[in-house]
Amino acid sequence: MISTAGLIARFYEGCRLREIYEMILSHYEKLLTILEDPETAAEVSGLMGLPVDKVKDATESIIVRLLFNKSDDAFVSLGLRHDASISEAHHRWQRLMMLYHPDRQNGAGMHDDKAKRINEAFAMINKKTKEVISTGEKQLYTGTTKQREKTYSRTKKHKAPFQHARYVPIFILGMAVLIALFMLTFCISRVVSTVP
């Protein structure tokens, strides 16, 4: 909590968002908790020596400035690193929508733009993730013949230990039949040799 309070204090004192961006990303969930939970806001307020309203305003300002960033970067808008997974993005989208959904707020008009931007950012991340996945699949099957052969041989190596596993029951059955025939032949030869 102390480091989150320090982050808010630096922003409150006029530090540029770019300078504390990495710190914001690592404390983003706590920033959301400050806006959601009055007890957490009061705790941070006590650490900073500022009124709760000022702490909440500074926190809100950080989140809104990221949400409507100048570069229109969807990951920045949701306070995520660029290597974040789709499940992380979904979780963040849910938290932000719980906070800014117009139906949950008194000033619905004020939160419409935020909710719209949150939805747009999540849709962009979702689309980019699907494009990366489909591009990765295309790259697997396209490219030079050498690359395809390399990919094929790699997948073939992974299958190699199990490629003949389907023949095991047939092999066992065949061995059982051979043993039975051997035993039958042995028994018949013993009987024939003992008969005068």
pLDDT in tens, the chain (196 residues): 777 777 787 777 887 877 878 888 888 888 888 888 888 888 888 888 888 888 888 888 888 888 888 888 888 888 888 888 888 888 888 888 888 877 776 655 666 788 888 888 889 888 887 766 666 545 444 444 455 455 545 555 555 556 667 778 888 989 999 999 999 998 888 888 877 6
CA angle in degrees (0–180, nearest 5) for 13-17-19: 90
